[in-house]
Structure 1
């Protein structure tokens, strides 16, 4: 615990690093055995989706990294898992990093966003990325990105609506809904969203913010019916609830799906469970599977990942689409 006290960290907490915590990253590498795992919510989803798909290099991920060792680690990890990584590089800023500290199976997360905060729309306007955007079948984005480059989010969302491509979006965190400055950006994007993902806390939060109450079935119905640009696609709302039933509202109907049960003693890490669910869903959805199969695929992915260490992909995917 001396190490935790040194950096003013608390067990089970997740924080953004302040100046006093920035030296932690070099110290953990110098003094401890470190596992490097590509992270970030959308990158987790991209890697899980690719893991479940039969053909490699069918998923492209973009974000912003620095020009450093950590960026190279990310590139190599994505290449190994079959994900195409087309990063925007900010050579003046270090790649974002999250120190995951474990003490008696309890985890503390300390994150320095670094270059992840510096993505620019100009990257999407390059000939290479324009080609990728045009050829993309669907788009998946996580709400955290709305704090960085909302104009980039709108560019992709508008393209999806114009070309009748699916745009999938994860609400990501209550603060993006509770803070008016960020929620105005989210509200501008939501009309372009075809499939919305949220956990129970995020769902209750948007229900409260929009004046719909906190009954998740009601919130799902209201959100599904909310303003929409592409009328060729109805909006589907997916609310996960951990070990409880996943709520899915689409085409005027609410359905519930039971996750795969897992004994507590087999749970290694719940971090990225939601990201993994979305990865499994995206993989099945990209294969044109029925919604029930997409949910089943998401439950399988989450079930497998939480038995691993920090979103480490299992060697084999035994799910059949």
Structure 2
């Protein structure tokens, strides 16, 4: 019972449309390997083309929803995790809800008239390129959050202020470079409320660039005061670097924590709490290299 409803995620739910494509497909839509971009007009036909030309897999995605699904799988405790976001009243939305519930996550979606957001996951070899078409996910209404049945979940400023007032742990992922570029104002408002800020090295460097910090050194970025203060108390910054060590900044110091090595031949693709930070990073690394067996064997 102590873990029931312990973790709530709020973010942009995107239905991942994942398929192994070819280099010609990437070139047709001007896509780069291991990149994440927002869809432009030229990209809109690609979702239908993927579904008709390739064998696709549909996954309830979006960085926050993926993290919540990972946490639910690692915890193996019914009712431990919940998720909120906005989807459309369409077949993609139905697919999203079915997929998320199969993962054991307690989902409370706002349903909008706009289409469910999608993300093309284009796999070539061991690398991927992401193209997000953010439709309904941008249409979340605070009225949905204020409903008693949703607020009872203890579920960005309403949540941030609530977490600060109630002394609750509040975490945020930078999510993608384009989020740092196009939603800087929103990020800047919420950053002071965050206990743990997560991101990868590309997101961290983009965050640094848009703030004019004039450094691409991940350790320096993690130690920047903007990443290290949560109102009147310290916060922690956690930045992943692919096969390089995870950068953890806490109390004005940096730790470099090793990842769990994964032999290249076992790599599928690159799409992929009350413990010491070292254990948490190990758990995150473990989840990142797994393809969801029925139960985790992480120790």
Q: Tell me the TM-score normalised to structure 1 length.
A: 0.76
Which position in structure 1 is the counterpart of 2:74? 52
Which position in structure 1 is the counterpart of 2:153? 132
Structure number with higher strand proportion: 2
How far did residue 95 of structure 1 move? Answer: 0.8
Is this contact kept in 2: 1:176–1:183, CA < 8 A? yes
How far did residue 110 of structure 1 move? Answer: 3.7
**Greater displacement, 36-45 / 247-256:** 247-256
How far did residue 303 of structure 1 move? Answer: 2.2
Which position in structure 2 is the counterpart of 1:139? none
The question of 1:25 aligning with 2:47 is answered yes
How far did residue 55 of structure 1 move? Answer: 0.5
Q: 1:289, 1:268 → 2: CA distance?
A: 29
How far did residue 73 of structure 1 move? Answer: 1.2
Is this contact kept in 2: 1:62–1:87, CA < 8 A? yes
Deviation beyond 6 Å, 4+ runs, structure 1: none
Is this contact kept in 1: 2:172–2:198, CA < 8 A? yes
CA distance 1:36–1:159, shift in 2 (3 Å): same
The runs of 5 or more residues in structure 2 that have no matched partner are 1-21
Which position in structure 1 is the counterpart of 2:282? 296
How far did residue 35 of structure 1 move? Answer: 1.5
**Greater displacement, 245-254 / 258-267:** 245-254
Structure number with higher helix proportion: 1
Which position in structure 2 is the counterpart of 1:282? none
Is this contact kept in 1: 2:222–2:237, CA < 8 A? yes
Partner SS for 1:56: coil
How far did residue 164 of structure 1 move? Answer: 0.5
Q: 1:222, 1:109 → 2: CA distance?
A: 29
CA distance 1:176–1:265, shift in 2 (3 Å): same
Is this contact kept in 1: 2:228–2:252, CA < 8 A? no
Which position in structure 1 is the counterpart of 2:251? 251
Which position in structure 2 is the counterpart of 1:213? 215
**Greater displacement, 198-207 / 44-53:** 198-207
Tell me how large the CA RMSD over aligned residues is: 2.7
Q: 2:30, 2:67 → 1: CA distance?
A: 28
Which position in structure 2 is the counterpart of 1:173? 176
Q: 1:63, 1:77 → 2: CA distance?
A: 15
Q: 1:303, 1:117 → 2: CA distance?
A: 30
Q: Determine which of 76, 82, 95 is the counterpart of 2:116.
A: 95
Q: 1:102, 1:174 → 2: CA distance?
A: 19
5 Å-filtered alignment, 1:100-179, equals 100-103=121-124, 107-133=128-154, 153-179=156-182
CA distance 1:14–1:296, shift in 2 (3 Å): closer
Partner SS for 1:63: strand
Is this contact kept in 2: 1:177–1:205, CA < 8 A? yes
5 Å-filtered alignment, 1:241-320, equals 241-272=241-272, 285=273, 288-304=274-290, 308=291, 313-320=292-299
Q: How many residues align?
A: 276
How far did residue 76 of structure 1 move? Answer: 1.2
Q: 2:125, 2:164 → 1: CA distance?
A: 48
Q: Tell me the TM-score normalised to structure 2 length.
A: 0.81
**RCO comparison, higher one (Cα < 8 Å, 6+):** 2
